[in-house]
Structure 1
Amino acid sequence: MDIGAVETANQTFYTAIENADLDRMTEVWAEDSEVGKVSCVHPGWPLLSGRAEVLRSWALIMANTPYIQFVLTDVVTTIIGDVAVLSCAENILTAGDAGDASFAAGKVVATNTFIRTPAGWRLWMYHGSPVLQGEDEEGEEETA
């Protein structure tokens, strides 16, 4: 049952991004505490630490992303006590440059760490790493 609750919290996180819903994003993230601060590593970004800085980054991303959709694959959830780690592949479809009717696709491997709070599971850490797909990979598939 806890795995389902963690995966629901995780889906709420991605739905908040897709809908540019900063209120929902604010609900998803845990509060900083005396034990430590929440943290976030967007693909290609430095470490962001602290709830205010993390939420500001999501506000900027949402304000500057006209369209984004996530299809999550390879989801693996592990719970140990009051900590849950969910890893997944984010298969991302996003709008192209402004004024361009094209779309771009990408893939990110993400690790989302949740903590159990009195209000339910809340996101404590997000770390996304891009999966680079280049011509070498395409050539390898053709010759294999």
Structure 2
Amino acid sequence: MKSRHEIMERVAEANAEFYQAIENGDIDQMRRVWAEEDQAPDLVCVNPGWPLLRGRAEILRAWSLVMANVPYIQYVLTETHIGVSGDVAMVTCEENVLTAEDDSPGFVAGGQVVTTNLFVRTEGGWRLWSHHASPVMLDEDGSED
């Protein structure tokens, strides 16, 4: 039996793999990150400004589009907290996002997003069940309202 600390480390690793998949544009890694439908029914994903994505096929199709159309993205996660109850884990964090949305040299946009990621324990490890991200509205000087 793993200690609570070891379990939380495995959840943190699964969460990091999700962001690595996006940053590296690795759809195969993204497939490994998300749970299968029989492991976690009704998979959902909400990205800022997008409609609700429901089901593994729809979610992976959307991530494929993101990865194909964003030449550069990097996440700096802050305020990360992990809660575990049985076979379910919740990770909340702030995503500080840097991205280039076109091929212009040096063009980088930034933003802050608050996120809740739910994971389910499977035979193959912790897998993503739900990702919900919401933008943080900043005032004109760049601080939170």
TM-score, with normalisation over the residues of structure 1?
A: 0.90
What percentage of aligned pairs have identical amino acids? 53
Q: 1:35 to 1:95 in 2, by over 3 A?
A: closer
Q: Which whole-Å CA distance do the structure 1 matches of 2:141 and 2:16 have between them?
A: 33
Q: Is the 8 A contact 2:42 2:54 kept in 1?
A: yes
CA radius of gyration, larger in: 1
Residue number among 111, 118, 126 corresponding to 2:116 in the alignment = 111
CA deviation vs aligned residue, 1:30-79 (integer Å, no higher than 9, x gap): 01128622110011111110000000010000000000000000000000
Match for residue 130 of structure 1?
135
Residue number among 54, 77, 83 corresponding to 2:82 in the alignment = 77
The farther-off stretch of 40-49 and 27-36 is: 27-36
Specify the SS of the correspondent of 1:31. coil
* Equivalent pairs, count: 139
TM-score, with normalisation over the residues of structure 2?
A: 0.90
The answer to whether residue 26 in structure 2 is matched with residue 26 in structure 1 is no
The answer to whether residue 15 in structure 2 is matched with residue 10 in structure 1 is yes
Contiguous gaps of at least 5 residues in structure 2: 1-5
Q: 1:80 to 1:109 in 2, by over 3 A?
A: same
Q: Which whole-Å CA distance do the structure 1 matches of 2:113 and 2:37 have between them?
A: 26
Provide the aligned C-alpha RMSD in A: 1.7
2:130 partner letter: M
